[in-house]
Amino acid sequence: MTTAYTTGTTTLPWSTRRDALIGSVIDSSTSLLARQSHDIVRFAMGSPAAEAIPVDLLSEINGRISATHGADVLDYAATEGHPLLRTALLEFLDTTDEATVDERLMITSGGMQGLDLAGKLFVDPGDLVIVEAPTYTNGTATMLSYGADIEEVPTDQDGMVVELLPEIVKRAGRTPKAIYVIPNFQNPSGTTLSLARRTQLIELARQWNCIIIDDDPYGLLRFEGQPLPSLRALGEGDPLIFSVRTFSKVLAPGLRVGWVDADPRIVEKMIAAKQAMDTCTNLPGQLVVADFLTGGHLPAHLDRLRDLYRTRKRAMQDQLTHHLSDKATWTDPAGGFFLWLTVPGIDTSTLFETGLAGGVAFIPGRALSAGGNFGDALRLCFASTAPERTAVGIQRLATSIEALSVGTRT
């Protein structure tokens, strides 16, 4: 005989942490969109273009590693990452301004796990953590899950307004434990932290002895302008700089392979933390990335992506100029996936519903701010949609904005 349990009648023995688990509107939009059956132009998710994922090559590599490694490819692997991937990644990083050494490297399950490990190792309940406004909500959600008190710092066309930090810290009455920053082609604003601000940020972190969580999934995707030295490079191995990286945006998010570059003392503790979390990063994914790197495919692949995303950004901006130049303003990212649209007088959470019904999806601004601000802004991902579809999507967006504007006027 089976016992019927009814949801809602049992009082569950929750942890106090439970209420701080707020999830992510961005990730929830994947499920929401999957449930829709009508035609929708999807500017919401920060996914690479389907055609930007080298599916045939990755499947061929997958077949080859299965043939070579047999059942070993489905075994547990070293927590810090498989040696083949570690070696291949160190060699690749040698060709960038982020050359590092074995003791500083930790392979993670995507960038999100890097953020989680930063929170786990550095944030106690009640600690002050500074984030950009707007910011990548999942990063804030991670810090909140460790009990952080979040303070927002504004951003402008040069990224986080670092000059405001001392005043914010003074007002908060205590120094931060961590500053969470996305320095290149920021998610969601698309802006890039200037060199002067990078230097100043490192100086302030040293003064306050606080960790900089340097989250840079898009840095390899610069398609315009001159590269800037990374915080990792400027910090020259400073233990206060915790650099979170991922293959999700430059290769494929489903692989769930990323890495952290941090002080060896931190790496040691991250290994312990990951052993109590997921033991090791998905091994087939690690071996596929390792083979992709040692096969020398990444540089040409990145060149292809940069060309593709430059074209797509410009196509989106042309459409915005055509349809919305009198109603909205937008940022001009020099790389990455996103631009940020501000539509004065329009509540973009309401616009989301109208847009979704009308066949276009985006992320409303409020979902990308710790304080629930930016009610008249929204994030558009230009990377995953081809120009012809982008034209359809921006036309639909303009129609939805017009419908709401009429509603507001009457």
Ligand X SMILES: Cc1ncc(COP(=O)(O)O)c(C=O)c1O
Contact residue for ligand X among 246, 331, 369, 385 (CB under 6 A): 246
The interface with ligand X within residues 31-50 (CB under 6 A) comprises: 46
Q: Is 336 a binder of ligand X (CB under 6 A)?
A: no
* Residue 38: other Cβ atoms inside 10 A: 8
CA distance linking residue 233 with residue 245, whole number of Å:
14
Q: Is 261 in the site for ligand X (CB under 6 A)?
A: no
- Say if residue 332 is exposed, middle or buried (CB neighbours under 10 Å; 0-12, 13-18, 19+): middle
Q: How far is the CB of 24 from ligand X (least distance, A)?
A: 9
Contact (Cβ atoms closer than 8 angstroms) between residue 11 and residue 130: no
Q: Pick out residues in 187-216 that bind ligand X (CB under 6 A).
A: 187, 215
Interacting residue with ligand X among 137, 145, 248, 369 (CB under 6 A): 248
Contacts with ligand X by CB under 6 A: the residue count is: 13
Q: Least CB distance from residue 27 to ligand X, whole Å? A: 9
Q: List, in sequence order, every beta strand (DSSP E) within 7-156.
A: 41-42, 105-108, 128-133, 149-156
Amino acid occupying residue 397: L
Beta carbon nearer to ligand X, 313 or 396: 313
Q: To the nearest whole angstrom, how small is the minimum distance from the Cβ of residue 241 to ligand X?
A: 16
List binders of ligand X among 349-408 (CB under 6 A).
Answer: none
Task: Select the residue whose beta carbon is closest to ligand X and give its number.
Answer: 110
CB of 218 to ligand X, least distance (A): 7
The least distance separating ligand X from the CB of residue 217, rounded to whole angstroms, comes to 5
The reply to whether 253 sits near ligand X by the rule CB under 6 A is yes
Q: Which range touches ligand X (CB under 6 A), out of 8-16, 110-118, 297-305, 309-317?
A: 110-118
The span of 11-19, 107-115, 228-236, 305-313 binding ligand X (CB under 6 A) equals 107-115
Interface pick for ligand X out of 105, 112, 143, 201 (rule CB under 6 A): 112
Cβ-count burial of 2 within 10 angstroms (0-12 exposed, 13-18 middle, 19+ buried)?
exposed
Q: In what order do the strands lie in the sheet with 149-156?
A: 105-108, 258-261, 241-246, 211-215, 178-181, 128-133, 149-156, 159-160
Q: Using the minimum distance from each CB to ligand X, give the nearer residue, 191 or 319.
A: 191
Scanning 16-24, 32-40, 246-254, 324-332 for contacts with ligand X by CB under 6 A, the matching segment is 246-254
The answer for residues whose C-beta is within 8 angstroms of residue 186's C-beta and 6 or more apart is 132, 135, 155, 159, 192, 193, 336, 338
* 183 lies in the binding site for ligand X (CB under 6 A): no
Token couple for 381: 């991902």
Q: Are 153 and 165 in contact (CB under 8 A)?
A: yes
Which stretch, 83-91, 245-253, 264-272, 340-348, contacts ligand X (CB under 6 A)? 245-253
- Residue 391 phi/psi, 5-degree rounding, is -60, -45
CA distance 219 to 319: 26
What is 96-139 written as a DSSP string? TTT---GGGEEEESHHHHHHHHHHHHH--TT-EEEEEES--HHH
Is 235 an interacting residue with respect to ligand X (CB under 6 A)? no
Q: Determine if 134 is a binding residue for ligand X (CB under 6 A).
A: no
Interaction between residue 136 and ligand X (CB under 6 A): yes
**Are residues 123 and 177 in contact, defined by beta-carbon separation less than 8 angstroms?**
yes
User: Of these, 119, 183, 219, 258, which contacts ligand X (CB under 6 A)?
Assistant: 258
What's the distance, CA 344 to chain centroid? 26
217 scored as a contact of ligand X (CB under 6 A): yes
Which residues of the chain form contacts with ligand X (CB under 6 A)?
A: 46, 110-112, 136, 182, 187, 215, 217, 246, 248, 253, 258
